[in-house]
Amino acid sequence: MRRLLLASSSPYRRELLSRLQLEFDCSSPEIDETAHPGEQPEQLVRRLALEKTRALGRTHQQHLIIGSDQIAVLGEEILGKPYTFERAKQQLQACSGKSVTFLTGLALLDSQTGTTQVDCVRFTVHFRTLSDQQIERYLQAEQPYDCAGSFKAEGLGVSLFRSTEGPDVTSLIGLPLIRLVDMLNSAGLELP
């Protein structure tokens, strides 16, 4: 059986993939994540997920390599990782009472055959109307500064939501497992 390789250093993606009870390795690919001129958000996440797999495919030639990339979109604005309290507060203020769409690009490369599968999974979060005090309490409690959209859906961040919609809640955390299982099955790795 070919080894699985997660093209990511994200602890969130690693935890999600471990739910499938498969052995896998992790390695962080070195790629330029800058958007190309005129590139639409969905095109961007698909391309970056695929580039992550290809970057590792050169050195891991007998693997099924999983790549994923995610962005959050509010209207026409792409929300990146905030990295600071102030930026996270600004993001959550902007999201208050609105809907944010998360686009998660997913790619699977069979480095032995060169076969690739690429998709994008959409998931929408409808935010409650949040006061500055609610936002500040949340940020102090969870410190989600390394998360696009400034929240952790797998934790207290769910308290910020009015509702959600999408085919796979794990895509919100960064690795859409339902779609990944489809890809792994197509690559000959049957689950469960």
| Known catalytic residue at 119 | no
Would you place residue 192 in the very low, low, confident or very high pLDDT band (cuts 50, 70, 90)? confident
Q: Which one is catalytic: 25, 69, 119, 146?
A: 69
Per-residue confidence (pLDDT) for residue 80, from 0 to 100:
84
Decide: 106 and 176 in contact? Cβ < 8 Å: yes
Total residues belonging to the chain: 192
Q: What is the DSSP letter of 62?
A: T
Decide: 68 and 49 in contact? Cβ < 8 Å: yes
Per-residue confidence (pLDDT) for residue 45, from 0 to 100:
95
Arithmetic mean of pLDDT, 112-136? 97
Average pLDDT of every residue of the chain = 94
pLDDT tens for each residue of 40-98: 999 999 999 999 999 999 999 899 999 999 999 999 899 888 999 999 999 999 999 99
Cis peptide before 192 (omega within 30 of 0): yes
CA–CA gap between residue 21 and residue 176 (Å, rounded) = 15
- CA dist 75 to 33, 67, 87, Å? 21, 26, 18
- H-run or E-run covering 91: helix 85-95
Is the pLDDT assigned to residue 105 strictly greater than 90?
yes
Domains of the chain in sequence order: 3-186 (3.90.950.10)
pTM equals 0.91
Would you place residue 1 in the very low, low, confident or very high pLDDT band (cuts 50, 70, 90)? low
